[in-house]
């Protein structure tokens, strides 16, 4: 396929709370990806940095910051901000450059040192920023929105807090097998139920933490990979970065009100579902082709919603899949084999890249104890503030 780009290398910095700056983490991940690819940094023609705004000024200029940390060598440079989808848009930018012939080899890096506790908007008095407003006027934290979605599922579909806990139990079991995960201990349903309530019905162990972390990829054209003797690389076949469509009727971070559906009938397809559909269309694949999926389990309940949005089951059927073990390691379609954000925590610009790192190791058959047997096709899905979101499909 002419639209494919090859994943030559993948690398990460272990996630946790390490007390260092994001540049240090990003450098480690970049070096690991370059070593994995067998590529010298001076050979890289372009570097794309996924950035965080919340992390402060250096985060605004991530591409050049990472390039400097690796040593200036004159590469093309790009910095990309798309909230929690920054990493995927960085991958998309790299892919576009390769397919356009602007670079043979592109290094994609995302890294963050996240503050402890709730994410909060940048400082100052900024009433023109919806993210600032939702905190100032309502105290509406990210978990508050996750709580709204979870309760809505309980009312509509009969999901229970016990169903939500099963997601955490499943992801913690997978994360325990991943050396890069922050949390590497199995968790029981009882432990979830005993953890503090944060945003009813979601408890502390239903919601992902904030973390430090970094992930990087070395991408290149198929011809370049062949010249390097890599005849059968993991290939990125689709990167979807579509916007929502008007009217958007599901309340989403950081909004206080939805669009009104008075003038235009809303699409029956959710924004999240449209992200996956656009990727499937681009890849010429469908949910039935998947070996595994990595989705943003910002909360346990949200992971169940993703099952439906990426087409693993119909609306309201998500809890049935986790109850049946379908999405666990060993199940028909493992979701978050990496351990997910439940095991990693959020390192905003890195996490969408980390998802593709996991697909890469799985499709190479190098995922160790959490290997999905015979993995051939994987999808990632993520969503960030302000109508950003993306899905990546990788194949082997």
Partner 1 sequence: MAGWFTGDGPGEEFRLLGTRCSGCRTVHFPREDGHCRNPGCPGGELEEVPLSRRGTVWSCTDGRYRPPPPYVSDPGAPWVPYTLVAVELAAERMVVLGQAAPGVGVADLPVGSAVEVVPGVLDEDAGANTVHTTWNWRPVAAEAGPEEPGTVPAAEGAVS
The residues near 308 (Cβ < 8 Å, ≥ 6 apart) are: 273, 314, 315, 316, 317, 318
Its sign, for the CA torsion 40, 231, 224, 100, is negative
Nearer Cβ to partner 1, position 345 or 378?
345
139 interacts with partner 1 by CB under 8 A: yes
The residues near 275 (Cβ < 8 Å, ≥ 6 apart) are: 240, 242, 309, 381, 383, 389, 390, 391
- CA-CA distance, 193 to 213, in Å (whole number)? 28
Site size toward partner 1 (CB under 8 A) is 47
User: Which residues within the stretch 251-280 sit at the binding site for partner 1 (CB under 8 A)?
Assistant: 251, 255-264
Least CB distance to partner 1 at residue 326 (A)? 26
Which candidate, 303, 344, 330, places its Cα nearest to that of 184?
A: 344
137 interacts with partner 1 by CB under 8 A: yes
184 interacts with partner 1 by CB under 8 A: no
| Among positions 136, 226, 364, 376, the unique one binding partner 1 when judged by CB under 8 A | 136
- CA-CA distance, 269 to 272, in Å (whole number)? 8
Nearer Cβ to partner 1, position 72 or 246?
246
Least CB distance to partner 1 at residue 259 (A)? 6
Q: What is the DSSP string of 50-77?
A: E--STT-HHHHTHHHHHHHHH-----EE
Least CB distance to partner 1 at residue 248 (A)? 9
Stretch that binds partner 1, among 102-110, 175-183, 197-205, 379-387 (CB under 8 A): 197-205
Whole-angstrom distance between the N-terminal and C-terminal Cα of the chain?
A: 12
The residues near 96 (Cβ < 8 Å, ≥ 6 apart) are: none
- CA-CA distance, 313 to 311, in Å (whole number)? 5
User: Which residues within the stretch 200-239 sit at the binding site for partner 1 (CB under 8 A)?
Assistant: 200-202
Find residue 82's DSSP bridge partners.
84
User: Which residues within the stretch 99-128 sit at the binding site for partner 1 (CB under 8 A)?
Assistant: 117-118, 120-121, 125, 127
| Among positions 249, 285, 311, 326, the unique one binding partner 1 when judged by CB under 8 A | 249
| Among positions 144, 176, 230, 285, the unique one binding partner 1 when judged by CB under 8 A | 144
197 interacts with partner 1 by CB under 8 A: yes
> Which residues of the shown chain bind partner 1 in the complex (CB under 8 A)?
117-118, 120-121, 125, 127, 132-141, 144, 147-152, 155-156, 196-202, 246-247, 249-251, 255-264
């Amino acid at each position: 396929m002419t639209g494919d780009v090859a994943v030559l290398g993948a690398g990460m910095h272990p996630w946790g709370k390490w007390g260092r700056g994001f540049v240090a983490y990003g450098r480690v991940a970049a070096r690991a990806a370059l070593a994995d690819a067998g590529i010298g940094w001076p050979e890289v023609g372009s570097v794309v940095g996924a950035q965080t705004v919340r992390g402060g000024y250096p985060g605004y200029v991530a591409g050049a910051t990472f390039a400097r940390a690796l040593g200036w060598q004159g590469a093309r440079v790009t910095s990309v901000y798309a909230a929690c989808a920054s990493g995927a848009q960085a991958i998309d930018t790299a892919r576009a450059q390769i397919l356009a012939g602007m670079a043979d080899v592109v290094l994609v890096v995302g890294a963050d040192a996240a503050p402890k506790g709730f994410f909060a908007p940048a400082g100052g008095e900024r009433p023109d920023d919806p993210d600032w407003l939702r905190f100032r006027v309502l105290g509406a934290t990210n978990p508050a929105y996750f709580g709204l979605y979870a309760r809505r599922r309980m009312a509509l579909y009969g999901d229970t807090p016990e169903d939500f806990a099963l997601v955490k139990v499943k992801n913690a079991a997978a994360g325990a097998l991943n050396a890069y995960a922050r949390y590497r201990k199995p968790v029981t349903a009882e432990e979830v139920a005993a953890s503090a309530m944060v945003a009813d019905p979601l408890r502390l162990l239903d919601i992902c933490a904030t973390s430090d972390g970094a992930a990087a990829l070395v991408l290149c054209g198929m011809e370049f990979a062949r010249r390097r003797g890599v005849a059968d690389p993991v290939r990125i076949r689709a990167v979807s970065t579509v916007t929502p469509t008007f009217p958007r009727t599901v309340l989403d971070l950081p909004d206080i009100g939805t669009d009104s559906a008075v003038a235009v009938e809303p699409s029956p397809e959710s924004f999240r579902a449209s992200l996956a559909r656009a990727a499937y269309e681009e890849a010429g694949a469908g949910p039935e082709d998947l070996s595994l999926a990595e989705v943003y389990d910002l909360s346990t309940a949200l992971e169940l919603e993703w099952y439906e949005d990426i087409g693993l089951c119909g609306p309201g059927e998500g809890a049935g899949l986790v109850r049946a073990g379908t999405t666990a390691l060993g199940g028909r379609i493992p979701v978050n084999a990496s351990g997910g954000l439940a095991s990693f925590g959020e390192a905003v610009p890195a996490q969408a890249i980390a998802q593709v790192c996991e697909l890469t190791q799985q499709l190479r058959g190098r995922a160790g104890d959490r290997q999905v047997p015979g993995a051939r096709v994987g999808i990632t899905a993520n969503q960030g503030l302000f109508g950003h979101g993306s899905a990546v499909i990788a194949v082997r």
